[in-house]
Every structure is written in structure tokens, then in C-alpha cells.
Chains A and B, each alone.
Chain A
Amino acid sequence: MSHWIILPVVLPALMASVLVLALRHHLDLQRIFSIAGTVALAGLGVVLMAMAHDGTVSVYELGDWSAPFGIVLVLDRLSAMMLMLTAAIALVVVLYAVGSGWDARGQHFHALFQFQLMGISGAFLTGDLFNLFVFFEVLLIASYGLMIHGGGGRRLRAGVQYVIYNLLGSTLFLFALAILYAVTGTLNMADMAGRVGGITGGDTALLLVGAVLLLMVFAIKSALLPLHFWLPETYASAPAPVAALFAVMTKVGAYAVLRVDTLIFHSANDAMAALLSGLLLAAALATLAVGMIGILGATGLGRLAAFAVIGSMGTLFSAMAIFTQETAAATLYYMLHSTLAGALLFLVVDMVRERRAGGDAYRPAPAMAQGGLVTALYFGAAIAVAGMPPLSGFVGKLLILDAVRDAPLAWLIWTAILGGTLIAILGLAQGGSRIFWKLEAPADGAPPSGPAPAIALPAASAFVLLGAIVALTLFAGPVTSYLDNTAAQLYAPQTYISAVLGSDIEG
């Protein structure tokens, strides 16, 4: 049993405790520790990717209690990849937050940030549904603190909405877990996968209710229609670097749907698989439409970026909802891309807010300092988000369109994705031209351009994200072959189940 698997949870937890207890008054030390901790997490991500690369499913039994009695952490290709993605985004975001001075605008930014990383890593690794609930709560409670970082009345009010919405989600999660436990008698995912097949009679209906409720909880997390109401206001009001990290948080919901469906519900019975797939597809197409129309109708860059996240979740789920191995691979590629692109867009939004006299609202304002660089970054981010060539959004959408070709409603998905892309291009072009081109002369006596904060580190971190998107495009071949293997592993859940349940014999 390798102890590497628990380190992505333990390391941020320890780091956060040190930050909040010992270093609370030393911002410089906090920055050093937080960056070092995030670099170490990225290193762990590489190690875990290497461990999972050959297709082995590694299991870590907490307290050496064998499954299904104890809680297990499970590492497979998908978990390792999501961890690596989280660590990469986190590293960029923490560098940006330090470079732009966001971490100095309130207390405990770095401690909350590390707790958030702990929650996300745990959610990707756990093999137990109740433990997944606990890690969801960890990442949510840290996100509440991060969301209101820097204070301000509007941010606090948006925070109240966000917290109450998510508390309702948590309650729903517990209802779903209770139903599933009552029906199957277990909370271990692998064990449950083995038991759902044997459920007959009246319990099938209960199982279905539990599965749909669970799906609803994950839909809240991934902002699927009609449960997306929390997202635009939250993401637009949150500090933009935090919103960039939240781009990973919506993917936690997508990951959970993919994991739970492929492992537990997909093979349970056909009627159930068809129902879940149909519900998800309908929600995904509506989400896609609302997200893309929201991009066009936004009144500021912050809301534009928030709706871009919703639109990308819609695109992602419209492929995932088909639930075949091919669509899973395409979904995962788009997931990598949309996380990077969404984070990049939020960093650009923050650069605009920091420099432009009128904030990020669509109103004429004097030219901003360092405008050329920010404009260029926005141009890159917009191309990536819209999914135009030459960046990876294009490759991702192409893979999705190709993967859903044999699905019964392929024409509808094609129409929605292509139409949505067109609307998104219009919306992004409108946003860019109204923010960067529609200038007015500065008021008398005012300096010719707005404030010019330090740009070296913020721009560097944004360029790292852009570079990652370019790399994802250039190395699309190797990446997709890795993702094909990942999807194949997801759709052969027997390896996962026997790794978890059989490990008491080996160990």
C-alpha cells in the first residue's frame, strides 16, 4: 500500500494549518509557503500520474480498515489527471494572486486556498460516497471564505446567496445518500456497484430516486440548468483569481457524475441508464443555450466569463450525457481545455478591472494602462473559450462532434454546439470591442490612462495558462491517446471494483 495517494489531501491540510496558526501575521512567509505547497502538490500530481499511467488502480485504506468497512482512497487514471489539472491551475492562480496583491486584501487567503485544494483533491480521490460528501463540504466551506475575500457589501450579499444555495445542495446530497444506503446497505462506491444489479421489485424505484437526487446534487455543483442560478452572480462578484480557481470546482461536479454513473449506475439496469442519460442531455442542451446566450447578453466582462463557464459546462455535458467510451474521451479533453480557458478568461477580467476606470462594465472609459498586453491576452482567451482554431477549444469541440455522431439525437447536439459557438463568438467579439475599443477622452486633469499596477507576475501567469492551452493543442495526439485509455478504464469498472474489494486479500 503506497502512502503517496493520501499526500494530496494531507499536504494542503497541514500547509493550511501552518499558514493560519503560525504565519497569520507574515504575508511574505505565507506567500512562500503557499507557493511551495502548491508546487509540491503539482509534483505529487506528476508522481500520481506516473503511478496510474500503466492502468493500475491503486487503493489506499485509511486506518488499514479493508473495504467496504473502512474508507478508501482510489487512484486511477482519471483521478490522477484531475489532480494534476487542479494543481496546475492552483499554481497559476496563487502566482497571480501574489503578483496582483489580491492575497493582501483580506485575511487568510492562502490558508483558505490550501483548504480548498485539500477538498478538491479529496473529492477526486475518494472511493466512498459519504466521504465524497465530506470533501465537498471541505471545499465548499473554503470557497465561502475565498468568495467573500476582500469584502464589500455586494460581494457579501452574493456570498449569502451562494452559501444558502449550496447548503440546500448539501441537504439534498444527504437525502440522496440516505436513500442509497437504505436500498443498498453500503456507501462504498465499488461495493454499491456490485449490489445495485441485484436490486429488484419496489426497491428499484427507490434506487432510481436516489440516483436522480445524487445527479441533481452534482448538477448544482456543475451549474447545469435549471440549477445554475448561483453561478453568474457568484463568479462575477468573487475576486477574479478565486473565480479562476472555481473553474475547477464546477469540474468536480462533472467528475462526480462521470465517476458515479460509469461505476455504479451505468450497468445497474438499462431503463435507469437511459433515464439518467436523457435527463442529463436535456439539461445539458438547455445549459449550453443559456450559457451562450448569456455571453451575448452580458453587461460586463465578469458576467461574460461566468456565462462562458456555464456554456462550457453545457458543451461538456452534452457529450458526456451519451455515456459511451468515445464521448467520455472527448468530454475529458474538453474538460481539460475548458478549465484552462475559463481560468485564463477570469484572470484577464481581473486585469481589466484593475486597470480600467469604468471597471469591467460595458461603458466607454479612458484607455487603460498596459492596454495592448491585456487586449492581446483577451484575444487569446476569447479564441480559446469560443472554440475557434487554432487553439484547443476547436480540437475539443471537433472531438465532441465526432464522438456523438452515432447518438440518436446527434443532429440536435450538433445544432446546439455549432449554434452556441456562433453566439459565443458574437458575444465575445462584442465584449472585446466595447471594453477595449470604445474609448472616451479622460476627464480634465485626470492622468491619460488608469492605474498601472505591476503586471510582470500577473501577465506571466496568464501567459502560462495560454501556453498550456497551446501545448494542449500541439500535443493533442498524445493527450487524446491518454484520455482514450482513461475512458477505457472508466468503462471497464471491474478493475476498479476488484482493486477496492479484493485488496484485503492482497494486503
Chain B
Amino acid sequence: MEALVALGIGTLTAAGIYLVLRRRTFPAILGIALLSYAVNVFLFASGRLMLNAPPVLIDKTGAGVYTDPLPQALVLTAIVISFGMTAVVVLLALGAYLSTRSDRMDMDNGPDAEEEAGQ
């Protein structure tokens, strides 16, 4: 199971990095999304992988089998934040596309561009 999860995280991360390095905004946003999935699974695994165990201590001595609840809370926070951030970057990319009619990531540094930045 560990190998499977590790492979999954690795594949997601590799695909995410590849997409982020593309020149247009849409693949880059998809890449960010894939990376955030990868990191969520990774966070989840940081509490050790455990099957069929509740995320609470059952007997007070701590002897029972349980899965670490903290990474679950962390993943929840991370999901909420990355969801919000994805929404922001989609809107921003749309705004940039609509006002410059181009969704390229790189900047063109002509003299006119400098002037526009100064306004």
C-alpha cells in the first residue's frame, strides 16, 4: 500500500510540475491543482497509513489501534485554502486574458509595456 500511495503522489507531482512549466495559464492552473492533490495525499500519509482504524483513542491508555487525526485536520485546511486559491487564480487569469487578449504567462518587455506599467 505504501508503494502504491508513493507512486500516486509521485505521478501527480510530476504531472503537476510539468504542467506548471507550460507557457499558457490554463495548463499552469491545472498543474497547480494536481500539485495540491499530491500534497494533500502526502499530508495524509504523514500520519502513517492505517487501515480500518478510527481517528480517536479508544481506551485511555493509548494501547488501542487508532489513526492519527491531526493530518486529517491539516488536509481539510489545505483543501479549503487550495480551493480558494484556485478560484482566485482562475479569475485573475481570466481577467488578464480578457484585458490583454493573450493567456501567455511570460511578459513582453517592450518600451510600451514599460509605459503601461507606469500608469
Q: Which residues of A contact B (CB under 8 A)?
A: 130, 134, 137, 141, 144, 148, 151-161, 163-164, 167-168, 170-171, 174-175, 177-179, 181-182, 187, 233, 236-237, 299-300, 302, 353, 358-361, 363
Given that A168-B32, A178-B39 are contacting pairs, would A144 and B88 also be in contact in the complex, using a CB cutoff of 8 Å?
A: yes
Q: Counting CB contacts under 8 A, is B65 at the interface?
A: no
Distance of A484 Cα from B78 Cα, bound (Å): 38
* Minimum Cβ distance to chain B for residue A379 (Å): 21
Find the residue from A130, A141, A164 having the highest chain B CB count within 10 A.
A164
> Which residues does chain A contribute within 8 Å of B82, judged by CB atoms?
167, 170
Which of A130, A163, A168, A361 contacts B115, CB < 8 Å?
A361
Q: Please determine whether B117 and A237 come into contact, CB atoms closer than 8 angstroms.
A: yes
Interface pairs (27), CB distance under 8 Å: A134-B81, A141-B88, A153-B96, A153-B99, A154-B113, A156-B100, A157-B100, A159-B96, A160-B25, A164-B28, A164-B29, A170-B85, A171-B32, A171-B36, A178-B46, A178-B74, A179-B46, A181-B47, A181-B74, A182-B48, A233-B107, A353-B118, A358-B115, A358-B118, A359-B114, A359-B119, A361-B115
> Which residues does chain A contribute within 8 Å of B99, judged by CB atoms?
151-153, 156
* Minimum Cβ distance to chain A for residue B17 (Å): 9
Q: Counting CB contacts under 8 A, is B111 at the interface?
A: yes
> Which residues does chain A contribute within 8 Å of B119, judged by CB atoms?
152, 353, 359
Interface of A is mostly: helix
Interface of B is mostly: helix
> Which residues does chain B contribute within 8 Å of A300, judged by CB atoms?
114, 117-118
Find the residue from B36, B78, B117 having the highest chain A CB count within 10 A.
B117
> Which residues does chain B contribute within 8 Å of A137, judged by CB atoms?
81, 85
Sort chain B's interface into a size bin: 35 or more
Q: Please determine whether B85 and A134 come into contact, CB atoms closer than 8 angstroms.
A: no
Nearest chain A residue, comparing its CB with the CB of B9:
A175
> Which residues does chain A contribute within 8 Å of B77, judged by CB atoms?
130, 134
Give the total number of A-B pairs whose CB atoms are below 8 A apart.
Answer: 125
Nearest chain A residue, comparing its CB with the CB of B88:
A144
18 additional A-B residue pairs with CB within 8 Å, beyond A134-B81, A153-B96, A174-B42: A154-B100, A154-B113, A156-B96, A160-B25, A161-B105, A163-B85, A164-B89, A164-B105, A167-B32, A167-B82, A171-B38, A174-B39, A178-B42, A181-B47, A236-B117, A359-B115, A359-B117, A359-B119
Q: Please determine whether A160 and B96 come into contact, CB atoms closer than 8 angstroms.
A: yes
Distance of A187 Cα from B43 Cα, bound (Å): 13
Distance of A237 Cα from B115 Cα, bound (Å): 11
Distance of A154 Cα from B113 Cα, bound (Å): 7
* Minimum Cβ distance to chain A for residue B100 (Å): 4
Distance of A365 Cα from B61 Cα, bound (Å): 78
> Which residues does chain B contribute within 8 Å of A361, judged by CB atoms?
111, 114-115, 118
Residues 35 to 55 of chain B near chain A (Cβ within 8 Å): 35-36, 38-39, 42-43, 45-48
Residues 74 to 111 of chain B near chain A (Cβ within 8 Å): 74, 77-78, 81-82, 84-85, 88-89, 92-93, 95-96, 99-100, 105, 107, 111
Nearest chain B residue, comparing its CB with the CB of A147:
B92
Q: Please determine whether B43 and A178 come into contact, CB atoms closer than 8 angstroms.
A: yes
Given that A152-B99, A163-B89, A174-B78 are contacting pairs, would A299 and B39 also be in contact in the complex, using a CB cutoff of 8 Å?
A: no
Find the residue from B36, B45, B119 having the highest chain A CB count within 10 A.
B119
> Which residues does chain B contribute within 8 Å of A163, judged by CB atoms?
85, 88-89, 92
Distance of A161 Cα from B93 Cα, bound (Å): 9
- Minimum-distance CB pairs A-B, first 6: A359-B118, A153-B100, A156-B96, A178-B46, A182-B46, A153-B99
* Minimum Cβ distance to chain A for residue B16 (Å): 8
